[in-house]
């Protein structure tokens, strides 16, 4: 199905008429489109929190790993630990004064240490709580995180297992800062870091060099990521999306299938007939 250039409005451009797969994990085309939408939604939430005098914290939770760990096992442990962080009586007590949270999963790989899977969480507070007071919430959350990891034969450390940062705009305009911060949070498919190669880099290396190990790693990543969510919003009493006036959350597939010219749903790749051309897909 041929794709044609399209400009929905000044300053934005894209392709229309392209079949989509809707995968935020393995598709360079769809992941970029989905990350852009998720980033704009997170930026809207950040702006809404700032408008009422609230503050936000970024917390990163990590897990110790080595080259012998399978990604599926690491991801299962991280999923269980994420549920433990936002569950239980201690969490309910810590939520007093909190608007709520959102979290994103990021995955990278290094040849030395294997798969690195960690969670970035945005916590929004309804008032200007101090960094010292709010820091105790992720510290207690890390303890639940670590206990849950240990039940799955993994663990974390208080030195490298948790990182807490206050969202501060600095000298930038808050709108520009929120946009940059939210895109940084959601563009995990393409983001290389000190922790290793991003999935996009892994795919690039596999297709450019055909190195057997890189191809095997990509296939492992593809299988372990299937059916999982990248971005999770809280759905409690103070839904952050509702707080920011956002509409119903669309699935990754719905976002990827939008036609920029008219937001018409496009056919997903698996819906195409066998006799239709598939040279251009997303």
pTM: predicted TM-score of the whole model, two decimal places: 0.79
In a domain, 68, yes or no: yes
Distance, in Å, from the CA atom of 18 to the CA atom of 282, rounded to the nearest integer, reads 7
Distance, in Å, from the CA atom of 225 to the CA atom of 109, rounded to the nearest integer, reads 14
Kindly state the helix (H) or strand (E) to which residue 14 belongs, with its residue range.
strand 12-16
Q: Which domain holds residue 141?
A: 21-256
pLDDT at residue number 148: 97
| CA 233 to chain CA centroid, nearest Å | 11
In a domain, 3, yes or no: no
Number of domains observed in the structure of the chain: 1
Q: What is the pLDDT along the chain (282 residues), one digit of tens a residue?
A: 445 444 445 555 555 666 788 888 888 888 888 888 888 888 889 889 989 999 999 899 999 999 999 999 999 999 999 999 999 999 999 988 899 999 989 899 998 999 999 899 999 999 989 999 999 999 999 999 999 999 999 999 888 889 998 887 654 444 454 555 556 656 665 665 555 788 888 888 888 888 999 999 999 999 999 888 888 988 766 788 999 999 889 988 998 888 655 454 544 444 444 444 333 334
In a domain, 273, yes or no: no
In a domain, 152, yes or no: yes
In a domain, 202, yes or no: yes
In a domain, 169, yes or no: yes
In a domain, 270, yes or no: no
In a domain, 40, yes or no: yes
């Amino acid at each position: 199905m041929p794709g044609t250039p399209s400009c929905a409005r000044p300053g934005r451009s894209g392709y229309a008429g392209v079949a989509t797969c809707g995968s935020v994990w393995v598709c360079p085309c769809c992941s970029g489109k989905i990350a852009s939408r998720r980033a704009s939604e997170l930026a809207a939430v950040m702006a809404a929190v700032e408008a009422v005098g609230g503050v936000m914290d970024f917390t990163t939770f990590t897990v110790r790993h080595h080259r012998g760990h399978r990604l599926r096992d690491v991801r299962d442990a991280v999923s269980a630990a994420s549920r433990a962080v936002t569950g239980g009586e201690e969490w309910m007590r810590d939520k007093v004064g909190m608007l709520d949270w959102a979290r994103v999963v990021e995955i990278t790989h290094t040849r030395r240490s294997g798969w690195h899977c960690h969670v970035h969480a945005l916590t929004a507070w309804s008032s200007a709580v101090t960094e010292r007071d709010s820091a105790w919430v992720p510290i207690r959350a890390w303890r639940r995180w670590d206990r849950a990891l240990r039940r799955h034969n993994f663990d974390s450390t208080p030195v490298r297992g948790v990182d807490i940062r206050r969202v501060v705009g600095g000298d930038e305009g808050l709108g520009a800062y929120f946009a940059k911060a939210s895109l940084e949070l959601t563009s995990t498919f393409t983001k290389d870091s000190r922790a290793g190669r991003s999935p996009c880099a892994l795919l690039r290396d596999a297709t450019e060099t055909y190195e057997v190990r890189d191809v095997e790693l990509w296939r492992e990543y593809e299988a372990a990521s299937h059916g999982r969510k990248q971005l999770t919003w809280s759905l409690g009493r103070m839904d952050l999306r509702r707080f920011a006036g956002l509409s119903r959350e669309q699935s990754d597939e719905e976002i990827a299938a939008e036609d920029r010219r008219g937001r018409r749903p496009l056919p997903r790749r698996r819906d195409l007939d066998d006799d239709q051309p598939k040279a251009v897909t997303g």
